[in-house]
Chain A
């Protein structure tokens, strides 16, 4: 009898743990997907700015402002999408473990990128565009070289 009760208890415990585990996996899976989407959007906007730098598109202050605003918004969103425990999930992530061991530095690098995107919003002269783009692009590079694993795509 006592034995049986123990069994039920254990079973219940295991069941709760499993469900909790599934719950966690689902939420970190969504988090990972959300941050990859956010980064993808940031990357898409960056490509638009890159096209101007490459001379594939004309310099247009309105286009610059729009894309810079998109980047700022999604970089800010990304800052909420790297919670502790989101280093694994049901989808593959290229986020490195160092994000959570050197968290203050990671957050600072994200803030730097956000600030560079914000600064880009107020660029109205073509002469100011290239230097601002250099700062913005370097902010991506600075983080990706330390905190992102490369993927074969």
Chain B
């Protein structure tokens, strides 16, 4: 083989490698949405949806920036900045405004966003949006949440694209990450436990997305299921998130009633460790839940050792 021929075949091999690589990337990062036929026959309950809205802290990440439309009313009109290690996000407007909110979204669009992390036009959302936890929700609950959002007053407030380097490619790449991190997350109740324990386990691991901060992650930022809720470095900022295991054994709380009060009142009742690193917003949202749901979460957490 002459030198140029060898050179040419090397180029061809490299080109093939690139083509195969791009094709594999394209296939592996393909969005896999649910079809509208996956929707169950369900009469949505907006009141149940409101509970999921609070336990999910939707209003904290999707809040309006100070002085922006919807800010005064505390509506989830988006526009407030959410800084993350990946870049700064401006989580979208969740009010039913047809132009700038989710007013024109179909039910299946909303279900795909919440449980698959996919936008209506099939792009991947970044996991800064905790769909990896929301994926544990049954479709009926997602529809209840949707019904609650649709009952809010529409706010016209356009939101900005996130400031993320190489946004398009990064979005596509999330598809690859989803293949490893998403899987089938649906919540399976444990029949050996009480209804309240199961409700607590569901709220904690599904809509409550407590594990997004309280479960340590591996080097690919995938939560380590074997150390579920065991605490670790904060995924988004400085400091360490405490473990939610062994709270009783470590004497952090006396009993279910004590932890319930802590989650309802936080520092206003003299409980420390419920304010820093984003926990204050979570606690104040938990304070809006029916007491039985906060008790259920406490019952579940105190059963973890």
What residues make up the interface of A, taking CB atoms closer than 8 Å to B?
43, 46-51, 53-54, 94, 96, 133-134, 136-138, 140-141, 144-145, 148-153
Contact with A along B248-280 (1 / 0, CB 8 A): 000000000000010001111111111111111
Q: Which residue of A lies closest to B279 (CB)?
A: A150
Taking a contact as CB atoms closer than 8 A, the residue among B268, B270, B276 that contacts A150 in the complex is B276
Of A47, A137, A145, A151, the most chain B CB neighbours within 10 A belong to A145
Task: Kindly state the separation between the CA atoms of A147 and B168 in the bound complex, as whole angstroms.
Answer: 34
B239 near A150 (CB under 8 angstroms)? Answer: yes
Closest 9 CB pairs of A and B: A50-B270, A137-B268, A149-B239, A150-B277, A152-B240, A144-B275, A145-B280, A150-B276, A47-B270
Contacts of A46 in B (CB 8 A): 267, 270
Q: Is the CB of A141 within 8 A of B268?
A: yes
List chain B residues, Cβ under 8 A from A43: 270, 272
Nearest CB in chain B to that of A153: its residue: B242
* B241 at interface by CB-CB < 8 Å: yes
17 A–B contacts, CB within 8 A, in A order: A47-B270, A53-B269, A94-B239, A133-B268, A133-B269, A136-B268, A137-B269, A140-B267, A141-B274, A141-B280, A145-B276, A145-B280, A149-B237, A150-B241, A151-B239, A152-B232, A152-B241
Q: Is the CB of A149 within 8 A of B276?
A: yes
- Do A150 and B242 have beta carbons less than 8 Å apart? yes
The residues of A that contact B171 with a CB separation of less than 8 Å are: none
Assembly CA distance A61 to B239 (angstroms): 38
Contact B269 A50 (CB under 8 A): yes
* B contacts with A: majority SS: loop
- Residue from B241, B243, B267 whose CB has the most chain A CB atoms within 10 Å: B267
- Contact A96-B275, Cβ < 8 Å, known A53-B269, A54-B269, A141-B280: no
Chain A nearest CB, measured from B83 CB (Å): 12
* Chain B residues, Cβ within 8 Å of A152: 231-232, 240-243
Inter-chain pairs besides A136-B268, A137-B269, A152-B231, 13 sampled, C-beta below 8 Å: A48-B270, A49-B270, A54-B261, A133-B269, A134-B268, A137-B265, A137-B268, A140-B275, A145-B275, A148-B276, A150-B234, A150-B240, A153-B242
B238 CB within 8 Å of chain A: yes
Q: What's the nearest-Cβ distance from chain A to residue B241, in Å?
A: 6
User: Which residue on B lies nearest to A50, using beta carbons?
Assistant: B270
Which residues on the A side are within 8 Å of B280 (C-beta)? 141, 144-145
Query: Would you give the 0/1 interface string for B208-237, flagging 1 where the beta carbon is closer than 8 Å to chain A?
Result: 000000000000000000000001101001
- Which chain A residues border B240 with CB–CB below 8 Å? 150-152
How far, in angstroms, from A133 to B266 measured CA to CA in the complex?
12
Name the residue of chain A whose CB is nearest to the CB of B242: A152
- With a cutoff of 8 Å between Cβ atoms, the chain A residues found around residue B278 in the complex are 145
Q: Which residues of A contact B270 (CB under 8 A)?
A: 43, 46-51, 53, 137
Task: List residues of chain B with CB within 8 A of the CB of A50.
Answer: 269-271
- Pair A138/B268 contact, Cβ less than 8 Å: yes
Instruction: Closest B residue to A43 by CB, please name it.
Output: B272
Report yes or no: A153 in contact with B268, Cβ–Cβ below 8 A: no
| CB <8 Å contact, B276 and A144 | yes
B59 to chain A, nearest CB (A): 16
